[in-house]
Structure 1
Amino acid sequence: MEQKKKTKQHKGGRNPKVNPSIHRHVFRLTDEENAKLLSLFEASGLSNKAKFIISVLFDKEIKAVKMDKGTTDFYMRLTSLFGQFRAVGVNYNQVVKLLYSRFTEKKAAAFLYKLEKQTVELASLCKKIIELTEEFNQNYLKNE
């Protein structure tokens, strides 16, 4: 009975692996070979060099993702601009509601006329942004 109690005790720690990697191999590279290996490793996006080398040795598929800093920056700025446009739309709706609830119809219409002029300018700016985005897509993103 004492042996059964001892085996049921939890020792803690990490669960043992089903198929542990216990065999070790060492190889040496020249500076050029090492630079090439590191660039391939970075392009693969894997987080572990050992797994990368194993996948290369055994012909497993390696996906390399190239990220263009300029394109990423453009996308992030465009996303933030879209968020600002949404905020302007929300504020626009709130202003129109306040105009009609706080002022007389004539005064509200006068303020609304000024707001419409600014909206037309914002719409033309939006069209220009869309044109520039399409031009960017055609010139830089479709060629890759």
Structure 2
Amino acid sequence: MNDQNNNYKKKGGRKPKLNPSNHRYVFRLNDEENDKLLSLFEESGLSNKAKFIVSVLFSKEIKTVKIDKSVIDFYMRLTSFYSQFRAIGVNYNQVVKLLYTQFSDRKAAAFLYKLEKQTAELASLCKKIIEITENFNQQYMKKE
């Protein structure tokens, strides 16, 4: 009767792994070697040192991620500038609509002439921004 109860008894806990890592190796490093290992580990982006060491030992591909703060800062500023540029475009459309609804054709044409000059300046500014961005990409965003 006791054997029958054991068959129906539920086992708690974690399910066993299909391929457990049972073999353990220990090695020692001096300060320089340890610093190099830690810097390589940080560049790899892996979350586990053991997985990193195994991937190095068995020549698996290791991806390194280098983060350049100046590139991130430039990207953030360019993104905010782009959003401001889009806001100007929305305001431009609203101004043109108001000119035609609120003023006579002559006054609207006069104001549109002034607005057209400002638009030409914005277009030249946009070209400069694109040139600066392309130069930045060529100089600093080289793929290694």
The TM-score bracket by the shorter chain reads: 0.7 to 0.9
Partner of 1:95: 95
1:22 counterpart residue number: 22
- Listed as ranges, the matches of 1:118-129 within 5 Å are 118-129=118-129
* Paired position in structure 2 for 1:133: 133
Mapping 1:52-71, distance limit 5 Å: 52-71=52-71
* Residues matched between the structures, number: 141
Q: 1:83 Cα deviation (Å)?
A: 2.3
Whether 1:81 and 2:81 are equivalent positions in the alignment is yes
The whole-number CA distance in structure 2 between the counterparts of 1:4 and 1:69 is 61
Query: 2: distance between equivalents of 1:69 and 1:111?
Result: 44
- Calculate percent identity across the aligned residue pairs: 74
User: Per the alignment, in what secondary structure is the counterpart of residue 61 of structure 1?
Assistant: coil
Distance 1:117 1:97 in 2: 18
Q: CA deviation at 1:24?
A: 2.9
Q: Give the partner amino acid of 1:98.
A: L
TM-superposed deviation, 1:34: 0.7
Unaligned residue ranges in structure 1 (runs of 5+): none
Q: 1:79 to 1:14 in 2, by over 3 A?
A: farther
Q: What is the Cα-based RMSD across aligned positions, in Å?
A: 2.6
1:6 corresponds in structure 2 to 9
The CA distance in 2 between the partners of 1:56 and 1:143, in whole Å, is 23
Which runs of 4 or more aligned residues in structure 1 lie more than 4 Å from their structure 2 counterparts after TM superposition? 1-5
* AA at the equivalent of 1:46: L
Distance 2:16 2:83 in 1: 48
Three-state SS of the structure 1 residue aligned to 2:67 is coil
The verdict on how the C-alpha distance between 1:87 and 1:17 changes in structure 2, with shifts beyond 3 A counting, is farther
